[in-house]
Amino acid sequence: MTTTLDAAKSMHRTRQGSLKIVHVDRIRQWGTYYVAEARMRIMLKFFWSVLSTAALNPVLYLVSIGIGVGKLINTHSGGVDNVPYLTFLAPALLASAAIQNAMDEVIFPVMEGFKWNKTFFAMNATPLSAKQIANGVFLAAMIRTLFSVAIYGLMIFLFGGFTSSRGWLAIPFGLFAGASFGAFIMGLAVAAKNDDTFFMILGRLVIMPLFLFSGTFYQLSTMPLFLQWIGWLSPLWHATELSRLFTYGHHISPIMIVVHFGYLIAMMIFGARYTHQQFEKRLSK
């Protein structure tokens, strides 16, 4: 009997000590930021790799397409949309880079957390909620995306792609595209049963068509009508159109401005809610 009481008292003291260390109320309030901090600390271990990739990719694109192909287009047709080809291309490249970075930074942590290392289940065993874990991963992904897009924007500026003082606005619109697509694709990654199939379908049937048929290298209106619907569904096209409007004055009707903003906002809201549902579903099993 005495042994039992001593054991109970010991457990009580241990529990009280853990509560002082863990700070449950603080985790419930700031849990999202703790998860984001953990993700950022992991990214910092690969800082130089992230930096070199963020700087090298735009340089290769800008030299080969923006300057190489762009020089031919500027010489023979005077540019596109009444601006130099690189100015026309820059908003699309920034939005595309944002989408790619956001996609990578939400998909791989989700696969790791639920399938490869199952770290999310350990995190959920603490006071962290499923929603906090999802939001923390998403927030860290957006910080990484902002960093990469800002580097991309700097490279475009150095190459003379921003011919207007408003050129920097392409950066927040690129981030807007990344957030909308990232929130949506994150939920799909949680729901994916087979990661190999998921990556194959995503790369071949989603990312590549959206990149090629979203008015990235040419205006969407120049494409056959039976292919334009791909661009209409693409967050890349909607963000690029808005970015071109605000950076160099691309003409868009007021109705289409509302459509572009509405589409991206709706995609982000739906994606966030779907992601939260999927996280709660997986972590409750």
Q: What is the pLDDT along the chain (285 residues), one digit of tens a residue?
A: 555 555 544 544 454 544 555 677 776 778 899 999 999 999 999 888 888 888 888 788 787 776 777 778 888 787 888 899 889 999 998 999 999 999 999 999 999 999 888 999 999 888 899 999 999 999 999 999 999 999 999 998 988 888 888 999 999 999 999 999 999 999 999 988 887 788 888 877 788 888 888 888 888 888 888 888 888 999 999 999 999 999 999 999 999 999 999 999 999 999 999 999 999 999 987
The per-residue pLDDT for 260 is 96
The per-residue pLDDT for 26 is 73
Domain contains 191: yes
Domain contains 200: yes
Domain contains 1: no
For the residues of the chain, what is the DSSP string, one character each?
A: -HHHHHHHHHHHHHHHHHHHHH-HHHHHHHHHHHHHHHHHHHHHTTHHHHHHHHHHHHHHHIIIIIIIIHHHHHHHH--BTTB-HHHHHHHHHHHHHHHHHHHHHHHHHHHIIIIIS-HHHHHHTTT--HHHHHHHHHHHHHHHHHHHHHHHHHHHHHTT---STTGGGHHHHHHHHHHHHHHHHHHHHHH-S-HHHHHHHIIIIIIHHHHHSSSSSS-GGGS-HHHHHHHHH-HHHHHHHHHHHHHH-----HHHHHHHHHHHHHHHHHHHHHHHHHHHHHHT-
Domain contains 19: no
Domain contains 8: no
The per-residue pLDDT for 71 is 78
The answer to whether 260 touches 242, Cβ cutoff 8 Å, is yes
Domain contains 22: no
The per-residue pLDDT for 3 is 55
Domain contains 43: yes
**Domain residue limits at 66:** 34-283
Domain contains 71: yes
**Domain count along the chain:** 1
